Amino acid sequence: MGRSAWGCWQSVVSTAVLYGSLALFISILHNVFLLYYVETFVSIYKIDKVSFWVGEAVFLIWNSVNDPLFGWLSDRSFLSSPQSGSQVTTPEVVLKRLQALSTNGPLFALSFLAFWVAWARPGLQFLLCLCLYDGFLTMVDLHHSALLADLAVSAADRTRLNFHCSVFSALGSLSVFLSYSFWDKEDLYSFRVFCVSLAAFSIVGFFLVSRLLRRRFQKEVRVRRDEAMALKELSVGQAPLTHAENPVTIGQYLKQLSKHRNFMWFVSMNLVQVFHCHFNSNFFPLFLEHLLSDNITASTGSILLGISYIAPHLNNLYFLTLCQRYGVYQVIRWLFMLKLGLSVVMLLAGADHIYLLCIFIASNRVFTEGTCKLLKLVISDLVDEDYVVNRRPQATSALLFGMVALLTKPGQTFAPLIGTWLLCVYTGYDIFEREPVRDSLVSVPDVASGSGTPPLRLGCFYMVVFVPITCALLQLAAWSRFTLHGRKLQGIKTLRQGAQHGHLIDVKAI
């Protein structure tokens, strides 16, 4: 009875839904982490400034290195042409990624819990927790993202997979709404129980979904192996069709990647995007407190906080429909222009327009995060181009996602460092000492609104306006040089589909 119920459940749920549900088990934990880890160590554990900066510096190195390291370990066997009859098929690649998810998903959930209980000196715990958490997060995110490129090639199928990810990520963002109710700096007991509940749900989810997907693709692998054995029997006594080639070394791979112009322009743009996304995440509570707290209620602040996490995923559902009509490249370009336009309007309006400021702070985060959700589609297209241009036997999706992270994840570490530095320079507000710095700027009038503004509030306003303006200008400059769109992109996809005919998976048919 149990097996029949399990088989019935497995047959009803589509592969796209199961793939998307993995995003739920990641987002319910990671959104809470992004929102509270800095405040927990600074305000509760009282980490000193030197330990914080040292921890972030070490984290910067580890955060950048682990993505390509794990990607190389995962995909290095795909870089050389195998002998005839031994080619790894796409279902086998998918099974390999699902095995990694089933192992590292629960470990990722357990590492999340290490932040919320003081078990060592603040500086040491900060360093160990960040590196441990990011290591498991990298393994989970890397293989989940690589599946997007491995499960489908056509833009329609990838958009469908991304659509389900957005739906489940939006559900996962509900943890932010709930966390605001449990968060209390004076007593973390309720918040800790809340985090344990989230982690338990995530562990069970990873176990069940990965098991469902693995059973599904094991059947596919058995069919492909039977076909391969039949072909091998037919070719007995014939010369092999291909010969083994020397494996591509890491140096050769990096040289190939350095000549990949679209890849280089993309990571230039994405570095700024990662910085802006994490800048918003790290300082959103601070902006709410110092720009809006005197004019809005705590419940309104909670709603704004929740909307800023959920709306990007819901908005992405609309963005994906635009992508199907106009292409991912054009939609991302429009989002950069919108970010620039809204920031200029807010700068001209000034800090005294409270309702406009509420809309701007929320929309700034919504559109910035919405852009991030679309970038996996672009990286999947770069996987296709890398596969075709370098004539690889199998797409190295995890490795390319890892190389993108190597060059862009430093923005995640730069965000709190540059943000705290700007805050101190413009306002004299040191989040570590909670005391004004005498050498900082003094109170100046708000030119846009014509009124005097306290230095801390004015500094926060300039940060929330000038950071997106600067980011948008840099991103528009880099994105204008990216050429993998339109006819060129369609040609690349046609070539990959032709080269891997018979080895790809029809997502809709599974």
Any alpha helices (H) in 288-391, and if so which ranges?
Answer: 298-326, 328-349, 354-389
Q: So what's the pLDDT on residue 294?
A: 66
Q: Is 229 exposed, middle or buried (0-12, 13-18, 19+ CB in 10 A)?
A: exposed
pTM of the predicted structure, to 2 decimals? 0.77
Q: How many CB atoms lie within 10 A of CB 255?
A: 11
Q: So what's the pLDDT on residue 301?
A: 67
Q: So what's the pLDDT on residue 241?
A: 42
Distance CA 265, CA 247 (A): 27
Q: So what's the pLDDT on residue 497?
A: 77
Q: So what's the pLDDT on residue 246?
A: 64
Query: Could you tell me which residues come within 8 angstroms of residue 74 by beta carbon, excluding any fewer than 6 positions away?
Result: 96, 97, 100, 142, 143, 146, 398, 399
Q: So what's the pLDDT on residue 201?
A: 96
Q: Which residues of 489-510 are buried (b: 16+ CB within 10 A; e: fewer)?
A: beebbeebeeebeebbbebeeb
* Average pLDDT for runs of 10 along the chain of length 510: 48 77 93 87 88 86 86 78 50 84 94 93 92 93 88 83 88 83 87 95 94 80 56 47 60 87 95 91 74 68 70 82 90 94 91 82 83 90 90 84 87 83 75 51 42 64 89 96 91 79 49
Pairing of strands 445-446, 451-452: antiparallel
Distance CA 486, CA 26 (A): 33
